[in-house]
A and B are shown apart, each in its own frame.
Chain A
Amino acid sequence: MQRRTFLRLSILGAAVLGAGAVALRFTGRASPEAARNDARVVLRAAIPALLAGVLPPEPGAREAARQQALDRTMGAIDGLPEGTREELDQLFGLLASHPGRWLAGVDWETATPEQVAAFLQRWRTSSFDLFVVGYQAMHDLVLGSWYADPSTWEAIGYPGPAQL
Chain B
Amino acid sequence: MTTSPAPINDPIAAGIARGWKVVDASTLVHPRQIECDVVVIGTGAGGGVTADLLSRAGLAVVLVEEGPLKSSRDFKMREADAYPALYWESAARKTRDKAINILQGRAVGGSTTVNWTSSFRTPPATLAFWREHFGLADYTPEALDVHFARAEARLGIEPWATAPNTNNDLLRKGATALGIPVGTIRRNVRGCWNLGYCGVGCPTNAKQSMLVTTIPAALDRGAWLYTRTRALRFEFTGNRVARLTCVALAPDGLTPTSNTLSIHARHYVVAGGAINSPALLLRSDTPDPYRRLGLHTFLHPTVISAALFESRVDGYAGAPQSVYSDHFLERDPIDGRLGFKLEVPPLHPVLFASTLPGFGAVHTELMHQFAHAHVQIALLRDGFHSESRGGTVALGSDGMPVLDYPLTPVIWDGARRALLAMAEIQFAAGAQKVYPVHERAEGYSTVAAARAAIAELPLKPLLTRVVSAHVMGGCGMAADERRGVVDGRGRHFQLENLSVFDGSLFPTSIGANPQLSIYGIVGRLAGELAARLSGGAAPILA
Contacts and interface: CB of A to CB of B under 8 A. Distances in A.
Contacts of A125: 439-440
B42 to A, nearest CB: 17
Contacts of B359: 49-50, 52, 117, 120, 124, 139, 143
Contact of B353 (A84, A117, A147): A147
B177 interface: no
A54 B360 CA distance: 8
A49 B190 CA distance: 46
Contact of B8 (A54, A124, A152, A164): A164
A76 interface: yes
B360 A50 contact: yes
Interface stretch (A36-44, A59-67, A155-163): A155-163
A147 to B, nearest CB: 4
Interface in B353-395: 353-354, 356, 359-361, 363-365, 367-368, 370-372
Contact of A132 (B195, B255, B370, B439): B439
B537 interface: no
A155 B84 CA distance: 25
A155 B469 CA distance: 29
Contacts of A145: 80, 350
Contacts of B396: 83
Interface majority SS (helix, strand, loop, mixed), chain A? helix
Interface string A3-45: 0000000000000000000000000000000000000000000
Which residue, of B76, B255, B349, B368, has the highest number of chain A Cβ atoms within 10 A? B349
A156 B349 contact: yes
Contacts of A54: 364, 367
Contact of A79 (B90, B195, B372, B400): B90
Interface residues on B, range: 35 or more
B77 interface: yes
B197 A161 contact: yes
A53 B360 contact: yes
B174 interface: no
A157 B354 contact: no
Contacts of A82: 254-255, 398
Contacts of A146: 353
B368 A155 contact: yes
A152 B350 CA distance: 11
A11 to B, nearest CB: 21
Contact of B349 (A79, A132, A158): A158
Interface in B448-481: 461-463
Interface string A66-90: 0000000000100111111000000
Interface in B303-350: 312, 316, 349-350
Interface in A120-155: 120, 124-125, 129, 132-133, 136-137, 139-140, 143-149, 152-153, 155
A148 B367 CA distance: 13
B204 interface: yes
Contacts of A83: 396, 398, 400
Contact of A49 (B80, B312, B360): B360
A5 to B, nearest CB: 19
B160 interface: no
Nearest to A140: B354
B74 interface: no
B98 A133 contact: yes
Contacts of A152: 349
A56 B46 CA distance: 49
Contacts of A81: 89, 254, 400
B191 interface: no
B186 to A, nearest CB: 25
B403 to A, nearest CB: 13
B335 to A, nearest CB: 30
B352 interface: yes
Interface of A: 49-54, 76, 79-84, 117, 120, 124-125, 129, 132-133, 136-137, 139-140, 143-149, 152-153, 155-158, 161-162, 164
Kindly list the 4 A-B residue pairs having the minimum CB-CB distance in the complex, ordered from nearest: A161-B77, A144-B354, A53-B364, A79-B84
Interface of B: 5, 8, 76-80, 83-84, 89-90, 92, 97-98, 195, 197, 203-204, 254-255, 312, 316, 349-354, 356, 359-361, 363-365, 367-368, 370-372, 396, 398, 400, 439-440, 461-463
Given A49-B360, A139-B359, A143-B353, 4 more contacts: A81-B254, A124-B439, A156-B371, A164-B204
